[in-house]
Structure 1
């Protein structure tokens, strides 16, 4: 049996993807490999593998302790993805970014959720051979197609019974929330719902302006705030279309959740999506393009259904059973 020390503080902050990815992996390993893997969480005992999900200073210091086994770092973000999320003083940002890379360099192995970031890590001086791509995934037990009607779900969630577009994630500039607001203003007959909040409070990039919008949104735009993970599936099933207008991502958990729920997906057309989910979503280059496609999809049920079929195929490819085998093989390869 392989003894694994999992290290994470991701679940302390609600409404952010790192916590979702961590929770999914822990549940997956316990579900499929309780006999093969002995998992301890945030304990500093001797192990075969130490898997670091967050970059807390105490975790960094623990890498110098004996009995760590193979030290594996989960790369959920890079300095450039943090840069568009948090508003930090110049000096604090410089120190923090150096710390992030220093943490990754302390690892024996790294796991990235998007292969496009292997090159970026190499540019930071990290050897290519120590980096492995393993995609995110979600459980079909948590995110699935609900048999109840959209009308009933909308009533339950205090939403209007009309064509509904849902966006999910932290309320911040990087996620493209200002563009989501613009699209709501351009389409008053369509209901827009952004599920998420300010997970990191006032240091969130664009906090002041976005806070004003949340306090006084357009009549057709709703901000239910941070919703518990076990309630999120209802929001996906109550919607007709998922829209994430982010400017920068690695592999957003919300997209996989939408796929697993059978919800059609539209994303800003970013190069980083090409290597992981190309062909499974409707790409849009900017707000004007998004607007045209939203109008078209809201008026053409057949096109929406074709997009829904793509989501189902994506969900099959990123199924937990397939990823479970990949993770077990990875742990077996690097166990010490």
Structure 2
């Protein structure tokens, strides 16, 4: 019998220009390809007749699903308190309140899916989530949709107006201090021989951190740095296909979808050396500090052997984080939750834990095959 899953991300009815929405769409689409799961998307502010709820956002529109005792709830933890600082205005001041809210929300779930080992540790140590309820399930994408041929690349560059000999360095994400777009601006000024493109804007407008400074940075960019503002996802893919290198200097990330997309295209990835990447990308991305990003880009531009080596490393990322494997494991998690609930129901009255949800099974192995 097909298992009905109500999967919801409030980005459906609000801002979509961020990685949480992409992660939600990719996972829902991967599940919809299977014949043993029926996915009901959205239906915000209401309960749904389903076997499992799977939530990707933490807003009030999904409260009725979170609190519905008729079906177990899975929550994907894309955001932890540290994700807010440098993203939204005044986050350092209201972070404690956000922490309390996240603690309440995540602890209500039967299973919390951490998108990286770093997130799993934050869930347990900072937010007090029972480790037996935490699973690490990395973000994934349909890598086949990003495979790029030479002809695809030529067509994309022609469509977007890049010269044949241009060395295009691409970044993707919201324009905010946490992403360190200021460093991209500096790199563009120091390397006029390269073309820099940042695909993204400020979707939350004046709610964004340092909105005025970020707006000025976009308006005063050098000639070899282009900000596209927010784009539909198919257009983002065209920029990836047209680029030579992907660069993400962000100071805090969990498991960014944009790196997965760049890897799917086959681009070498240059990223900041942060601990969040230790258990995800490891040495398959060229990890840098502020002072070494420029050196890394020059190295890739001038050394064809190095370029091919790092492109091959990206293909390893693509092999590791394809959505089909994640969907397979996720269905197993769903079915285990449903089976546990049926067993408890047949056993009669049972103990409830302090969060109001039923105590459940031992924690399973935490990672996809690597």
Q: 1:206: how far off?
A: 2.2
Calculate the aligned-residue CA RMSD, in Å: 1.7
- Does the aligned pair in 2 maintain the 1:244–1:267 contact within 8 Å? yes
- Please point out which of 118, 121, 124 is paired with 1:122: 124
The reply on whether 1:101 has 2:103 as its aligned counterpart is: yes
State the shift of 1:56 in Å: 1.4
- Of residues 203, 210, 230, the one that matches 2:207 is 203
Report the Cα distance in structure 2 between the residues aligned to 1:197 and 1:259, rounded to whole angstroms: 22
Q: Give the structure 2 partner of residue 157 of structure 1.
A: 160
Alignment of 1:25-104 (within 5 A): 25-31=27-33, 33=34, 35-43=35-43, 44-67=47-70, 69-88=71-90, 92-104=94-106
Within 1, Cα distance between the matches of 2:48 and 2:78?
A: 25
Deviation at 1:91, TM superposition (A): 6.1
User: 1: distance between equivalents of 2:154 and 2:186?
Assistant: 26
- Residues of 1 paired with 2:227 and 2:197: CA distance? 6
- SS at the partner of 2:89? coil
- TM-score, normalised by the number of residues in structure 2: 0.85
Cα displacement string for residues 268-312 of structure 1 (whole angstroms, at most 9, x for unaligned residues): 0011101111121111122x2111111121111111111001111
- With 88-97 and 14-23 compared, the bigger mean Cα shift is at 88-97
Correspondence list, 1:154-193, <5 A:
154-161=157-164, 162-193=166-197
Aligned counterparts of 1:40 and 1:331: Cα–Cα separation in 2: 14
CA displacement 1:227-269 (0-9 Å, x = unmatched): 2111222211211110000100000000000000011111100
**Paired position in structure 1 for 2:3:** 2
Q: 2:243 aligns with which of 239, 244, 255?
A: 239
Which residue number corresponds to residue 263 of structure 1?
A: 267
Q: 1:151, CA displacement in angstroms?
A: 4.8
The 8 Å contact of residues 144 and 264 in structure 2, kept in 1 or not, is answered as no
Cα separation, 1, equivalents of 2:324 and 2:50: 25
**Higher Rg:** 2
Give the Å deviation of 1:93.
4.3
With over 3 angstroms needed to count, the CA separation of the structure-2 counterparts of 1:231 and 1:146, relative to structure 1, is farther
CA distance in structure 2 between the aligned counterparts of 1:89 and 1:26, rounded to whole angstroms: 30
Which range is displaced more, 149-158 or 261-270?
Answer: 149-158
* Cross-structure match for 1:312: 315
Contact 1:172 1:205 in 2 (8 A): yes
Q: Is the 8 A contact 1:142 1:233 kept in 2?
A: no
Kept in 2: contact 1:142–1:230 (CA 8 A): no
TM-score, length of structure 1 as denominator length: 0.94
Stretches of structure 1 lacking an aligned partner (at least 5 in a row): none
Equivalent residue for 2:348? none
Match of residue 282, structure 1, among 279, 286, 305 = 286
Q: Is the contact made by 1:7 and 1:42 (CA closer than 8 Å) also made in structure 2?
A: yes
What is the number of residues matched between the two proteins?
Answer: 332
Unpaired runs of 5+ residues, structure 2, are: 342-370
| 1:325 matches 2:325 | no
**2:356 aligns to what?**
none
Deviations 1:146-182 (A, max 9, x none): 3326454223113344111000011111111111111
